[in-house]
């Protein structure tokens, strides 16, 4: 029997999946009178140069990690953010459609940014009630979180005992970590572009391991 007992060090449970949630890099600015490219009814802007630099910084940070798979969403900003890491690791990204960004209803495609800057009453209601369903035609937080959890558990089920990088969106990071912690709906909104958060998934259990790591930026 040892004479010493050291402090506990976390290790994922057997069969768990360690997921790096990477928010995509900064995208092109919205321009009045113009609509972003659209995919399945949602705005799909590409990365701006600053976002491309963030993508390369993510790759530099993670290229030495033992990552087994990379996932992206249906939106080009996640593909572009994942590309430098995918090239460095020689891994072809897979698509998980349930992790696409929250649907902003009538204001998707760029209008939301202007409405937010002007503190539109519907934006203020959405923030107060912590639900994007307050926007005209917007997706509710309950619906968003349900599909985000479904998508993450599908990834976890395919990668037991593995480390997976998943490039997603700010609203997705927020919904995932709120589910992991039982926090208020918007408790983890605001992840920075290019940031890395971390969650371990084991069956129905979700364990938060990190939020908004930007040491590489």
Residue 101: active-site member? yes
| Catalytic site residue from 26, 79, 96, 101 | 101
Output the CA torsion sign for 131, 73, 173, 115.
negative
CA distances from 78 to 33, 54, 100 (A): 25, 12, 9
Structure tokens at 119: 């503190």
Alpha carbons 106 and 98: distance in angstroms, whole number: 20
Helix-, strand-, coil-residue percentages of the chain, each rounded to 5: 40, 20, 40
Q: What is the DSSP string of 82-140?
A: HHHHHHHHT---EE-GGGSPPP-GGGTTTHHHHHHHTT-HHHHHHHHHT-GGGSTTPPP
SS3 label, residue 149: helix
Alpha carbons 37 and 200: distance in angstroms, whole number: 34
SS3 label, residue 59: helix
How many other C-beta atoms can be found within 10 angstroms of the C-beta atom of residue 189? 16
| Catalytic site residue from 24, 79, 159, 169 | 24
Which positions are catalytic? 24, 101
């Amino acid at each position: 029997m040892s004479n010493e007992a050291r402090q506990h060090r976390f290790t994922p449970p057997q069969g768990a999946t360690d997921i790096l949630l990477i928010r995509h890099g900064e995208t092109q600015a919205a321009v009045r009178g113009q609509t972003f490219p659209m995919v399945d009814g949602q705005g799909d802007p590409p990365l701006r140069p600053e976002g491309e630099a963030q993508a390369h910084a993510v790759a530099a940070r993670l290229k030495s990690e033992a990552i087994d798979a990379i996932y992206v969403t249906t939106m080009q900003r996640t593909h572009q953010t994942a590309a430098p890491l995918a090239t460095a690791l020689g891994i072809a990204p897979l698509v998980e459609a349930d992790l696409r960004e929250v649907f902003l209803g009538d204001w998707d495609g760029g209008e939301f940014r202007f409405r937010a800057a002007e503190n539109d009453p519907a934006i203020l209601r959405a923030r107060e009630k912590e639900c994007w369903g307050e926007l005209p035609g917007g997706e509710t937080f309950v619906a968003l979180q349900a599909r985000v959890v479904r998508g993450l558990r599908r990834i976890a089920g395919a990668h037991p005992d593995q480390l997976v990088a998943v490039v997603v969106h700010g609203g997705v990071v927020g919904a995932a970590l709120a589910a992991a912690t039982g926090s208020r709906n918007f408790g983890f909104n605001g992840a920075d572009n290019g940031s890395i958060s971390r969650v371990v998934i084991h069956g129905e259990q979700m364990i938060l391991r990190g939020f908004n790591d930007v040491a590489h930026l």
